[in-house]
Chain A
Amino acid sequence: MTIEANDPAIAIAEKPASLRPVLEWIARRAEPVVIGLAAILIGLALFSLFILAVGKSPATLFQLMYTGGFGSWFSVQNSLSRAAPLLLTALCVALPARLGLVIIGGEGAVVLGGVAAAAMALPLAGTAPVFLTLILMAIAAMVVGGIWIGLAGFLRHYRGVNETISSLLLSYIAIALMNQFVEGLLRDPASLNKPSTRPLPAEYMLGNIPGMDVHWGLVIGILACVVSWIVIEATSYGFAARIAGGNVRAAQIQGLPVGKLIAGFTALAGSFAGLAGMIEVAAVQGSANASLAAGYGYTGILVAFLARHNPLAIIPVAILLGGIDASGGLIQRRMGLPDATVLVLQGTLFIVILFCETFYGRFKIFNPDLWKRSL
């Protein structure tokens, strides 16, 4: 790493004292940004080697990725639409992470949220007011998603069941349940090749943001990120969660209700993933079907880790990954690469980013407490 090479610590110590707090503030906040960007660059370099190894040009690929993701107003809108569910599924990972929990079953909450939203909407559509129907759909999806992931949190605290494995098992169970509903109880007889629930009437769909070709899910997702950030940073619950995430014993000795915090945070996390399912049904698919299990839950894990579980950082990261997702089709058509190319890139980035965790705290430049001693 060349980060240490131009260590400005010496220069900083001789600056007037008034500048120092500003520089300290910058240094402390620069660490995740610099290490994160370095990780992305290393990941892209490794991925380029892989693309070279299969005989294609990385330069063309990155250019197509830019064109497909952000090169035109059309592709930007496409990327933003794809970012909407990622915002919510990333929160499903990031919120429990504050308590030290690794939840990877967001996909299950997404599909069940979608089914719940469809089941709620179908008897109402055509009779109830549009706005009320959409609200009820969202509530149904959030309750079901919240119960699903909340169950993993509950089992973790009260039964000691590892939440990573239980949430993933719950996710497979959820997909089986969705298939059962869509093939059985809720199946639209008219859906032949691709079993679906009956479609929502067009006027009951969640529309687009005025002036854009992006559905309201983006706004909902961004709001959810902002609300989560406020909950974590500015409420006593968030403060208690951060303490419990740091040290469960200490939190229990302090009398913090760790069990309730875990159940509450996982349920909130799951309700966001469920909401992503509702948005997929109400804004994209128009019905609940197997397309709900499109992998948003899994990409959300990557988004959350990239954003270091910071809800505000999730917003740009989700848009970036939404763009990468959106460019997949273009890469497939123009370069003849499989659609899994995007998956390889995501996996590579994910590994390198976790790998680079090891560099946190290793560079003096980011730690003002060590500046003096380095003189």
Chain B
Amino acid sequence: MEETGIGIWGVPLAIFAGAIRVSTPFIFVSLGETITERSGRINLGLEGTLVFGAMTAYAVAVITGSPTLGVLAAMAAGAIFGLIHGWICKLPKVNDIAIGIAMMQFGLGMAFFLGKSFIQPVAPKLPSIPLGGWSSTPQIQAALNINVLFFIGAALALFLFWAFKNTRIGLILRVVGDSTDAARAMGIHPDRVRLLATAVGGSLAAIGGAYLSLYYPGSWNEGISSGQGLMAVALVIFARWNPIGCFLAALLFGGAGALGPALQSVGVTQGYYLFYAAPYVLTLIILIATSSPTRSLAGAPGALSLTK
């Protein structure tokens, strides 16, 4: 244990910093899944999309030297994954939850296959903004060194919250998600809307992956995601399909994920692996607390198969 200079205050500071660092992928995946689920479709394959996005971003950043191009390439790859998922789910008799699981396995397989040769090279990292410059304490400086994607994610959450309520596209999405028949009566093609919503959701999830490989932890390997893509699906339920709720829930999850490492940094090593399970336990408790066997969840899109 190194001398921190700020003593026990290092723990809440580390959790705060960790919450911001760890939450960013959750923000993007859950916002993407919110768009998809608002259209009445569920994509459980986002875990695969996330990992494939992480690999694509890293590989492109290594080859071109530009992390921004890496993020854009990841978005394109994520959109392709979303289009495949959306196109197959359009067919009759196809179970969208099962397709999600299959896409997850496919995405992981492809990412591990194509990413094998990128485990060694080092990619340039995404830039971050040093908001802690005013402080002379290195811990605070480090904690406030916040990646640009975090701010983009926060802005996106606010924008989506506004857009769902106040734009034509937001209205179309909500109508399609609540009733396929009502949407048809309005002259909207529900399948087309869902296809696009799944593609957008996939490209956002891939940004979450790009953040993992290009910023934190900032390297590409096969264990880069441990279920973030799937936990984001649970997070969307917890956030009641509300983008701002997603942002806050992501921060909460990030804090839970940072608990173990923060305690370890001050010398608490007992039960390290149990702390590692904290985000999953938290997700499960939240799911249990917010679900109900008798009524559908408040705010749930009516055409969504998940909550039935």
Contacts and interface: CB of A to CB of B under 8 A. Distances in A.
Interface string A313-327: 000000000000000
A172 B227 contact: yes
A179 B276 contact: yes
A71 interface: no
Contacts of B280: 169-170, 172-173, 176
B116 interface: yes
B94 A354 contact: yes
Contacts of B135: none
A122 to B, nearest CB: 20
A104 B230 CA distance: 12
B263 interface: no
A176 B116 contact: no
Interface stretch (B66-74, B102-110, B174-182): B102-110
Contacts of A42: none
B281 to A, nearest CB: 6
Contact of A173 (B110, B272, B281, B306): B281
A340 B113 contact: yes
Interface residues of B, number: 49
Contacts of A351: 84, 88, 99, 102-103, 106
B102 A350 contact: yes
Q: Which of B91, B94, B95, B101 has the most CB of A within 10 A?
A: B101
A298 to B, nearest CB: 7
A305 interface: yes
B93 interface: yes
Chain A, interface size category, equals 35 or more
B97 interface: yes
A284 interface: no
B267 interface: no
A168 B112 contact: no
Interface stretch (A26-34, A112-120, A133-141, A154-162): A154-162
Interface in A322-367: 337-348, 350-351, 353-355, 357-358, 360-361
B113 A354 contact: no
Contacts, number: 145
A178 to B, nearest CB: 8
A301 B92 CA distance: 22
A160 B273 contact: no
Contacts of A357: 93-95
B275 to A, nearest CB: 9
B288 A169 contact: no
A48 interface: no
Contacts of A353: 102
Contacts of A166: 284, 287
Select the residue from B105, B112, B272 with max chain A CB neighbours within 10 A. Answer: B105
A357 B95 CA distance: 9
A336 to B, nearest CB: 10
Given A159-B288, A172-B280, A173-B284, A344 B110 contact: yes
A170 B95 CA distance: 23
Nearest to B276: A176
B128 interface: no
Given A354-B95, A355-B94, A102 B101 contact: yes
Contacts of B88: 351, 354-355
B166 interface: no
Nearest to B111: A340
A358 B274 contact: no
A358 B92 contact: yes
Nearest to A301: B101
Interface string A129-157: 00000000000000000000000000101
Contacts of B294: 160
Contacts of A341: 113
Given A159-B291, A162-B287, A340-B116, A173 B277 contact: yes
Given A159-B292, A165-B230, A351-B103, A338 B95 contact: no
A326 to B, nearest CB: 17
B93 A358 contact: yes
A43 to B, nearest CB: 11
A347 to B, nearest CB: 3
Nearest to A342: B109
A343 B307 CA distance: 30
Nearest to B227: A172
B140 interface: no
A285 interface: no
8 contacts: A102-B101, A158-B293, A161-B291, A164-B97, A343-B112, A347-B48, A350-B102, A350-B106
Interface of A: 102, 104, 155, 157-162, 164-166, 168-170, 172-173, 176-177, 179-180, 183-184, 298, 301-302, 305, 337-348, 350-351, 353-355, 357-358, 360-361
Given A172-B227, A343-B112, 9 more contacts: A161-B288, A176-B274, A176-B276, A176-B280, A177-B273, A305-B102, A340-B116, A343-B113, A354-B98
Interface of B: 44, 48, 84, 88, 91-95, 97-99, 101-103, 105-110, 112-113, 116, 226-227, 230-231, 233-234, 237, 271-274, 276-277, 280-281, 283-284, 287-288, 291-294, 306-307
> What are the 3 closest A-B residue pairs judged by CB atoms, nearest first?
A347-B106, A343-B109, A340-B112
